[in-house]
Structure 1
Amino acid sequence: MLATDDHFRLVEKAVLGDSCKSSQWRVASWARCLHDYKLDPSRAELVDLTSRELRTEAEAFDADITLATSELEATLMMIEGGGYSAHIANRNGVIIAERKSKDSAFYCSTDRIGAVWSEEVGGTNGIGTALKNLTPTSVYLSDHFYADLTSQACASAPFFGPHGDVLGVVNLSTYNPGVPQLAHRVIFGVAQITADRLESIYFRNTFRKEYMLTVNVEQRSPAIFAIDPDFRIVGATRNARSLFGIDEPAMGVRSLWAVFEKIRGNPTLDYLCDSLRELRPLGSGNVVEVSLRRPISVLTSMPPSLSAATSNNPVKSARPKFGKKVTTLAECAGDDPQMGQNIEVLQKVFGSGLHVLLLGETGVGKDTLTRALHYESERAAGPFVAFNCSAIPETLIDSELFGYSGGAFTGASKEGNAGRIVEADKGTLFLDEIGDMPLQLQTRLLRFLETQEVTPLGSGKVRTVDVQVVAATHQDLHARVAAGTFRQDLFYRLAGAVVTLSSLRERQDLSTIIANLMTQIDDGDKVTFSERAMKALLSHSWPGNIRELRNVLTRAVKLADNGVIEPKDLMLTPVRMPPLVLPPQPPLQAQSAPASGPAPAPERPVPAPARAGTGMRKSATNQAEKEAFLAALEASGGDIAACIKMLGISRATFYRKLKQHGLTSASR
């Protein structure tokens, strides 16, 4: 750090005398600090907001703070080991979110949540000067106006909202007077990349119900148009506005064909999604590469949850201005060591070309974890597409997943359907309840996983797709392989990384999970638990896991008198659950060996199997499944909805299994 007097003379000489051209931005900032703001470089008078003031500033952030903090975590992974921490400041220069470096020795204590870094207060600094000039700014050591800050280096980049106005600033800072200037330049580039990604994420989230036209230009910031079904431009990123001369009044009025040469034949947008590869801007002799995507309204449609990761953030109660909260990986891990290890493994393999298989009981959060992986990976700018293999009738799974051409079958749309796999191109495809996928479609899925190629029904056109596949199930796939209802080669293809998620009763952080969920559910009403109610929550077995816990807490908040939840409000009645786990099977590689010991006796005589070992195992598996259904029907008193909930399966699968086992809803 420069001596105070030396730094004062440096500032004075630069402002009053001649300065080199490369540092004009710094001299201009120093001049504002001296003349306009009347600041003294030898005496830093920094400001921290109160909790109430900070809450107001957080609410003024016209976007989802959680999306921004998720991006900060991804950024820290890019610069791990550099000693830099990452922050989000709002348009007023107030830090509203942060992710600290693992190396606390280099943490800037002045860069904390609630600190005000507008240039009028903090002098020349990354956040404030970036906001003043609306341009990325690197402030390296003695570039700071205040002498007390010349041991710090910060790299900041403003990011802009979907309508072109500044939202805030990404800031990466370190308290390290020995940081090499070249290394800091690299960090400066990372800050700009993070800001660009945030712009893209917020834009796609805001216009997720519109068609997205991305123009591939050789610039860092994306050029994206949001198009309505009538080809009107309803949104454009800042770079798209600049490149093609579009201003805010043109939104919702100007046609796409007022910017690009119109395609002959008046094709529909749905048709162009599959065929459009390039366009020619009006008045230009060159074509540009483009891609067009269908509306995706699932960007942030996950159940909300709140995290221990933001427990030290006094603005965690601020509500997003649009969309729903995206749970972070830190929130998924909580304080449970096993979940922490699981997520560490998944982060290393996600996006590496390996497919992922998530196992675990119903309600443990497989969908939530997959979304968090997507939004904290390099695929975050691409789509997240979820497909439940048990929620779609068997006759429609093929067309919904792999797509179809116009008129491919009776009742098919004239425009056809790209299918969920193609919709997930450059993003993530989540295949939930993969264990319920019909056997004949498993062959098509296996071929896609091997070739990354899709051929829609009724079309000979092959399309190559780049997707990260994550499959999930609560079923015992080893048993299903042994029973012949799930392909063994498909299992191994999906099992690039296999992770079993802990059930709620196995986790070591149940009290933390309860507290975090309550922060979200009670909506600031400060509902508390009696000692007996908390004891009941901690001792319950939670067969429905986090999904069940959320429902219980939500109901209890509504029923509680005087703001105190009692055991009666929880309504935790013991439920006799049917056996959902099938009998343990030998390892897959040993399946060819005959089963040791006699198989359980079936209720009715069954035909002798061709191969005794395999047939006996299949008979035992089917019998166990049938008994599970009978037990569920008995426990629910014939209530179909309750029975389906107990079994943890979809309604379509429930009726298919009833028919398979020769049962009716009255069987009990």
Structure 2
Amino acid sequence: MEPYRDIIELGLFELSALINPSGYEVSFCTKAGVTILNLPASGAGGVPSLECPGSLWTEETEGTNGVGTSLWEARPVSLYKSDHFLSRYTDNCCAAAPVFASSGDILGVLNITTSSESVSRELHQMAYNILIKMAEKVERRLFRHYHRDHCLVEMRVSPGQMALVAAREEGSLIAADRHAMNFLRATGYGIDGKSLWNYFDRDNSFFTPGSSKSVALVHKIDGVRIPSKIHFPIRSPLSSGRPDHVARAPVTGSRSLLETVGSDPKMIRNAGLLQRVRGSTLPVLLLGETGTGKDVLARAIHADGPRSHKPFVALNCAAMPETLIDSELFGYSSGAFTGARKEGQTGRIMQAEGGTLFLDEIGDMPVALQTRLLRFLENAEVTPIGGGAVRRVDVRVIAATNVSVAQAAREGRFRADLYYRLAGVVVNLPTLRERTDFPEVVAKILADYPAGAGMSVSSAAMALLQSYEWPGNLRELRNVLQRAACVADDGMIQEDHLFFDIEINAGVTSTAIAPPAAISLPPSPQRGDERAMLMAALRDHNDDAAETAKALQMSRATFYRRLKEFGIRPRGTRRIQMSPTN
């Protein structure tokens, strides 16, 4: 379950954005019927005490209910009030749909529940239909993720139904989702080894390498043409077939959303979601640790959308004094307060008319001001401080925070209703230590820094970079690489050019510790013994630094620091070249 958690959570947030205004809460339960993820309803109609994580929903324990019945019958089910078996649930409306893994087994169940009296049977049926579509969307994402290294063939087998198969590049099949299995009239999931051309007329140009292409497959039995699209595996621009080399990202001006996020699967999924909603006015909430690139992504969202020709206005809610945020955001009229400009001031919201308003560090906004912001989000109207004409403003709001909004809401530091207004689309940014495209990130940072143009990174330096925890994420990596590019004298960044930021103690700003790169301490007898031990261990492992560190039971970061301290450079150190991408 854990590898798919991000995909499940994305589906929950999308589903919640669609039906939450009607008073539904959404949850995901395992195939054992245990709730593990839950988004409560925004209004009083939710029943969070029932759907909290850890609650068990099987037919054996709770009678006829959405989750338990859906698991038992392996199909979507909808229950309206008295359809429930137990009387304590007859005020509730619920629906559930199983989510199938690529193997064909049930992974879990998407569930929606409300006790709102205003939900009619017709409205519940509409929510049920949305739920089914979302469960199928999650299945497709799971299938694509599991087979991301294979060719994926997407077939429109009926006007409202897509089917997916995974294939090797010569056409032999690996797997098919349940809709494809039904369409191909295949039994079980033993499709591996059969060919796509057992079912369709051969198209020799179909698997010509490329990015993606649209074709019409002709079914062998009835000759029906099936509109299809093939997606080839996403290849990182760094994939050169040589593990010792890293391709340099090209130096460009503004980047598209996909170029900004790199090739990390989580970030690609984030970009895919943002691209699908780029034409809407849904607010976007970016969540992630400090330094994960929330501001950069916000600008890319703006630049990649229909508002790109309009203003992008940013306000850092943490950097602005509490007494000034109100006037900065909403503006003020002439003579509103002592020291105010005679002509008044236009607020950031009105400055962003037609474009994007980016509220960074929204989790640090004072609670009193959150109420005014919520009012604006509800009616799109701004009234300057001190009075004046009410003005309607057309802006798209992007907010970002490194604060746990759920915890802040529980502690009374953040309004829950404001969170639901901002959470039209929620994007969780992975930390740098979680990203799988680290070498590409390094290449992009150096490409964007004048002193880093044409710079290369040795394999030992790259290993040291990847072994570090990066508490400051991309911001800290940028600082380290820019310092290294300034001190590297031969176009090659070596491990002794890397000076990391270290925290002196909790609550104190990190400080760079940068000893002179070319100076090593004279060895004392004890230090000389340690130096000899390190050199002997390296010889025993053919100058393989990673293997030597493992044998000495040291982390690679500690080992490389020891080597730098003693002025030792393994003879087997290889260079990681950064060459322009074709």
Q: TM-score, normalised by structure 2?
A: 0.48
The structure with the largest strand share of the pair is 2
Q: TM-score, normalised by structure 1?
A: 0.42
